[in-house]
């Protein structure tokens, strides 16, 4: 069975996390993005992209872009950022298993779940084809755990506020009270969790969110540049949307190769970056 390489190299992953720690702390809280459930799967896929873009022949094409439009540092740091996010996820999983998740009253969880489901049906119907709002709705759908549930309800309440004129005429799913109820239930969940916190788990949940946000920022910079550079050369397959990476099945050649290393095969005649293969 294949084991993700960064999970079998704690020192390497910890070092990668240390390299990005200061940048994580500098991220403003209003810029943070909730991580999806499969951070490890996404990080592993991003490592394959990082192995590709750091090959000399490929990296040089990124480096030729104007420095005031794109920083090639994003290419160089993509692998480290992916490993750092994977480390934060593994630490969060460990903290969760040691302390267990705080329990909430069943009635509160049920009320929140029913409300979120109804609001998600409305949001999906109205914004599924909207690139920007639809992406946020999809990220809300990926939330898991009680803290994510509180965050999801808050984000749905805000979405209702911003787009009320568009959604309030929906006769099936719109209820005027849902916006306020979602905000109130989110606050109630947070208060309940604060009353019985697992400090280590909560700390790593914050670090994981920050590490995921930095990975998202870094990858999407590389992706945007890559889509331009490799237009007409299968760019979208080479740089797919981040949300889809965890769901991409590895090719057979990838699986065989990653049994001993974590990077994709280099182009003939070139060597993969040492920083990604040690």
**Residue-level pLDDT at 28:** 92
What does the DSSP 8-state code read for residue 239?
S
**Residue-level pLDDT at 195:** 62
Phi then psi for 222, rounded to 5 degrees? -65, -40
Conformational region of residue 71, where left means phi above 0, alpha means psi within -120 to 50, and beta covers everything else: beta
CA distances from residue 142 to 7, 36, 220 in whole angstroms, order as listed = 23, 6, 19
pTM: 0.56
**Residue-level pLDDT at 270:** 39
**Residue-level pLDDT at 52:** 96
Nearest to 157 by CA among 121, 129, 190, 116: 116
Tokens matching residue 34: 């909730």
CB 186 within 8 A of CB 116: no
**Residue-level pLDDT at 226:** 97
Tens-digit pLDDT string for the chain (278 aa): 333 444 435 677 888 898 999 999 999 999 999 998 889 889 999 999 999 999 999 999 999 999 999 999 999 999 999 999 999 998 888 777 655 445 678 888 889 999 999 999 999 998 888 877 888 888 788 766 777 788 889 889 988 988 999 898 888 889 989 999 999 998 888 777 766 657 667 888 899 999 999 999 999 999 999 999 999 999 999 999 988 875 554 444 343 333 333 333 334 333 333 333 33
**Residue-level pLDDT at 10:** 65
Alpha-carbon radius of gyration of the chain: 21
CA 37 to CA 143: how far, in whole Å?
A: 7
CA 212 to CA 114: how far, in whole Å?
A: 28
């Amino acid at each position: 069975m294949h084991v993700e390489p960064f999970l079998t190299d704690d020192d390497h992953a910890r070092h990668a996390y240390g390299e990005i720690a200061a940048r994580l702390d500098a991220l403003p809280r209003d810029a943070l993005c909730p991580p999806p459930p499969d951070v490890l799967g996404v990080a592993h896929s991003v490592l394959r992209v990082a192995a590709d873009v750091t090959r000399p022949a490929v990296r040089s094409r990124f480096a030729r872009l104007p420095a005031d439009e794109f920083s090639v540092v994003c290419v160089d740091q993509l692998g480290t950022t992916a490993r750092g996010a994977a480390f934060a996820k593994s630490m969060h999983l460990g903290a969760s298993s040691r302390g267990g998740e705080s329990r909430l009253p069943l009635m509160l969880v049920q009320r929140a779940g029913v409300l979120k489901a109804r609001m998600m049906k409305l949001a999906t119907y109205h914004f599924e084809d909207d690139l920007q709002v639809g992406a946020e709705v999809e990220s809300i759908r990926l939330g898991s755990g009680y803290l994510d549930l509180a965050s999801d309800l808050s984000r749905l309440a805000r979405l209702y506020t911003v787009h009320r004129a568009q959604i309030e005429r929906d006769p099936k799913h719109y209820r005027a009270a849902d916006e306020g109820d979602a905000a109130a239930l989110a606050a109630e969940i947070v208060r309940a969790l604060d009353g019985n916190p697992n400090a280590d788990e909560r700390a790593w949940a914050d670090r994981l969110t920050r590490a995921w946000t930095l990975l998202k920022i870094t990858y999407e910079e590389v992706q945007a540049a890559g889509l331009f550079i490799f237009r007409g050369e299968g760019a979208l397959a080479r740089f797919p949307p981040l949300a889809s990476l965890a769901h991409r099945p590895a090719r057979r050649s990838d699986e065989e190769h990653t049994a001993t290393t974590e990077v994709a095969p280099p182009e003939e005649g070139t060597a993969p970056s040492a920083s990604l293969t040690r």
